[in-house]
Amino acid sequence: MTTQESTVSQTPQNPSPNAKTPQPPPSVIRLWRPAAQRNLRNQWSKLVSLKNQWVSVSSSGRSHVHVSTGFGCSKRDAKIRAKACMKLAKQQVGIVTQMANAAQSMRCFLRGASDSPVLQFSSSSENGNDSGDCGGTPVYLFWSISSFESFAQELVQMFALELNLKRLLVLELLAISCEEDLCFDELSWSSELYAGEFDDLSICYLYSKETNKPVPPRVKEMKSGAFAAQFSHQPDSDVLQVYLTIWLAEVNVNMNRIKEIFHVIGEEMHVNLS
């Protein structure tokens, strides 16, 4: 199977300025801003924690890659390696799913009527006319919520692209590790690694409802796919070395850019995100 041109599917765009609700009265803004600030701190703290989880899981996964690329394994070893690969894939999907949820939970919506004597706020909308950004009001000093969302979506896209590439490698390693009676009858890019995986990939914008398949993997900035998935039970040593190199490189995750994003967000919020 040769991958075709792909992108992270259905990535949400920043809200249009025309979609913003009119600014509410100053009395509402004074109450909305602290609630919005608390929510943003919570969501960005989650993103920092999830980034650290990714680094930890990715590091531990390197040993699985080293082991899984060995030759001459026994039937028992092949089964152990296949299970390890699937467990690793599920962990990383879970991390990126939580990242996507955090990036989509940055808005702060008014609960009830704005003229209520007691105003409450929520991360979910009860009113289709409320965009959750208080009419584009700066949350701290300069940025509206859409600016925070833009940075969060950039982070999610990095990890989503890398997740999809690692998913390809996991499938290849499963093919290497498995014998006919151990794993899938017919392994392909459309194989679901665990029950509910495609639902999780949809949250990460990695599943196309148009094709009913996961979107093909790619490297960031590349307009066309460059990966041919063979799913061979007997790959040569050069192919195995390529798998290992790609896994270790994490070509879609720019850690310098990630540090920069957390730094500028932390400066705007006056918190240390590390």
Residue with tokens 């998935």, as numbered in its chain: 229
- DSSP track, 20-49: SPPP--HHHHHHHHHHHHHHHHHHHHHHHH
Length of the chain (residues): 274
Q: Read off the pTM.
A: 0.82
The pLDDT of residue 49: 97
What confidence score (pLDDT) does residue 95 get?
Answer: 96
Alpha carbon distance 248, 263 (integer Å): 25
User: Helix H segments across the chain?
Assistant: 26-68, 75-103, 145-177, 197-203, 237-249, 255-269
pLDDT at 65: 60
pLDDT at 66: 62
Residue-by-residue pLDDT tens, the chain, 274 positions: 333 334 444 443 444 434 456 777 888 889 899 999 999 999 999 999 999 999 998 887 766 666 655 545 555 665 666 677 778 888 989 999 999 999 999 998 877 665 554 556 666 666 667 788 988 999 999 999 999 999 999 999 999 999 998 888 888 777 766 654 445 557 788 888 888 999 999 999 999 989 999 998 888 766 545 555 556 556 566 776 777 788 778 889 999 999 999 999 999 999 999 7
The answer to whether the CB of 220 falls within 8 A of the CB of 252 is yes
Task: Give me the pLDDT at residue 3, please.
Answer: 38
- Enter the tokens of residue 161: 């692209």
Q: What is the pLDDT of residue 77?
A: 60
